[in-house]
């Protein structure tokens, strides 16, 4: 019976075989249907490995697809049909996404209304920043500070529109949701909306859904064995929905406290109750994920979705990708606020992206309003701060089959930033800008 040491990826690359990846995949499928038994996932993995080793001829290296076929067989034969279905659906969805171009993912799969995208493009053309060349020309003319002001003004028009729409529904609204993929600018936008609504006499009560994370040991993991906080299944969605429903009904609930140092949810937490005129405010990646607020009628919700809808072409006529902007933002934020190596953000972005493509972006059509958080002036800041990093990552991952996604993204972003005139002076950027959320210096940062 041969010992399996290697596996062939779909790209044809041969990489090390690790049983832990099978366990993670089985557990992730179980979590998707409400299961949290990792011990069973380990037992099932052992069966998969036994079958794999017994059926693999000497000298043959199995493929990922062959291993996945065995996983499905083991799940079904052990009476885990529901988990098997989730696993099969996840596998099919992964295959579908691989068949699509990333450019289509940025623009076709996400359901941003054409009018919103057209308005963003029209604004970019009017301000001479619909191309990287145009951006560089404005910088060369010394107009960077003016571009900052123009971009911030456009973003604040969106904020005003949001506030006006919410105020029009004053009295009927009970829940305001701010949602969007990673690093779309939710923190700053939520704060700005709350400030302006308060000025209008509305009383908002913030519900921090981070306190509803399951204990760390119960979290699904990504392909590298790290706990995955990006999936909605990392949160106790049913409890969030229950608590929101009770709060809107005027009941008192005990909000748990999630201790990120220990990785555990703790009780007693904080007792919370909202008044008849109060509005609950939620800022969450998964705010538009339907099960999170399933028991709350749509007519008492206002749903806001954020995305950096930058409309700018590079020298080759290709649009700057929104996901790349958010990747750089998260790198900078994680380095400034969480002491994470930006390299780590790059190598795990594929999994962040996969989760948002499944659970976040498909729900943006449910939003009442979409805010464009893209800032044309952010690219020169990134060129000054991150160009050398991306150049290094391109070299580091060029021939690494396990980091193929990191290489593709690093190469693409490096080629973009090379075209942009760098700006090292960030003093023109106001303290309340979305960009400050990522580069530091925000007036909204806790003391």
CA pair distance 18, 4, nearest whole angstrom: 9
Q: Counting every residue, how long is the chain?
A: 447
3-class state of residue 14 by DSSP: strand
CA pair distance 74, 175, nearest whole angstrom: 44
Backbone angles phi and psi of 50, in degrees to 5: -60, -45
Give the single-character DSSP code of 6: E
Give the single-character DSSP code of 440: S
Report yes or no: 62 and 240 within 8 Å, Cβ to Cβ.
Answer: no
Comparing CA positions, the residue from 410, 421, 411 lying closest to residue 382 is 421
Q: What is the pLDDT along the chain (447 residues), one digit of tens a residue?
A: 458 888 887 767 677 888 878 887 787 777 777 777 778 888 888 888 888 888 888 878 888 888 888 888 888 888 887 877 777 776 666 655 545 544 444 444 457 888 899 999 999 999 999 999 999 999 999 999 999 999 999 999 999 999 999 999 999 999 999 999 999 999 999 999 999 999 999 999 999 999 999 888 777 666 566 666 778 888 999 999 999 999 999 999 999 999 988 888 888 888 999 999 999 999 999 999 999 999 999 999 999 999 999 999 999 999 999 999 999 999 999 887 777 889 989 998 987 888 888 889 989 999 999 999 999 999 999 999 999 999 999 999 998 877 889 999 999 999 999 999 999 999 999 999 999 999 999 998 754
> Topology of domain 102-439, per CATH?
Rossmann fold (3.40.50)
Residues 6+ positions from 299 with CB-CB distance below 8 Å: 172
Long-range contacts of 313-319 (CB under 8 A, 24+ apart): 313/130, 313/131, 313/132, 314/131, 314/132, 314/415, 314/416, 314/419, 315/132, 315/133, 315/419, 318/103, 319/103, 319/106, 319/107
Angle CA(352)–CA(325)–CA(397) in degrees, nearest 5? 65
CA pair distance 178, 224, nearest whole angstrom: 30
Confidence (pTM): 0.80
Question: CATH 3.40.50.300 region(s) of the chain?
Answer: 102-439
Strand partners, 206: 281
In the numeric block, which tokens belong to residue 63? 């493929």
């Amino acid at each position: 019976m041969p010992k399996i040491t290697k596996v062939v990826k779909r790209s044809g690359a041969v990489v090390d075989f690790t049983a832990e990846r099978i366990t993670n995949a089985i557990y992730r499928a179980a979590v998707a249907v409400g299961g949290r038994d990792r011990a069973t996932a380990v037992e099932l993995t052992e069966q998969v490995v036994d079958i794999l080793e017994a059926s693999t001829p000497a000298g043959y290296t199995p493929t990922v697809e062959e291993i996945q076929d065995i996983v499905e067989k083991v799940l079904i034969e052990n009476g885990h049909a529901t988990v098997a279905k989730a696993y099969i659906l996840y596998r099919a969805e992964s295959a579908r996404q691989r068949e699509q171009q990333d450019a289509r993912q940025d623009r076709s799969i996400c359901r941003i209304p054409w009018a919103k995208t057209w308005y963003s493009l029209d604004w970019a053309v009017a301000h001479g920043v619909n191309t990287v060349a145009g951006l560089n020309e404005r910088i060369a003319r010394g107009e960077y500070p003016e571009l900052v002001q123009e971009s911030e003004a456009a973003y604040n028009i969106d904020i005003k529109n949001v506030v006006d729409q919410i105020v029009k529904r004053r009295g009927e609204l009970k829940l305001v949701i701010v949602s969007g993929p990673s690093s779309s600018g939710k923190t700053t936008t939520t704060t700005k909306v709350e400030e302006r609504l308060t000025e209008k006499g509305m009383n908002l009560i913030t519900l921090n859904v981070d306190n509803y994370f399951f204990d760390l040991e119960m979290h699904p993991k990504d392909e590298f064995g790290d706990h995955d906080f990006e999936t909605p299944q990392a949160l106790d969605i049913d409890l969030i929905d229950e608590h929101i429903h009770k709060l809107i009904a005027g009941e008192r609930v005990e909000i748990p406290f999630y201790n990120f140092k220990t990785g555990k949810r703790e009780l007693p937490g904080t007792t919370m109750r909202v008044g008849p005129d109060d509005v609950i405010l939620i800022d969450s990646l998964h705010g538009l994920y339907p099960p999170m607020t399933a028991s709350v009628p749509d007519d008492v919700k206002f749903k806001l979705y954020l995305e950096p809808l930058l409309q700018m072409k590079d020298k080759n006529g290709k649009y700057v990708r929104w996901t790349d902007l958010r990747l750089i933002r998260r790198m900078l934020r994680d380095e400034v606020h969480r002491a994470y190596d930006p390299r780590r953000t790059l190598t795990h972005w594929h999994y962040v992206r996969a989760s948002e493509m499944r659970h976040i972006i498909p729900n943006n059509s449910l939003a009442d309003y979409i805010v464009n958080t893209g800032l044309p002036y952010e690219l020169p800041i990134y060129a000054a701060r991150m160009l050398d990093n991306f150049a290094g990552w391109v070299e580091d991952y060029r021939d690494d089959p396990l980091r193929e996604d990191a290489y593709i993204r690093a190469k693409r972003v490096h080629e973009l930033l090379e075209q942009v005139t760098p700006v090292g002076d960030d003093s023109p950027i106001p303290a309340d800008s979305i960009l400050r959320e990522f580069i530091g210096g925000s007036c909204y940062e806790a003391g």
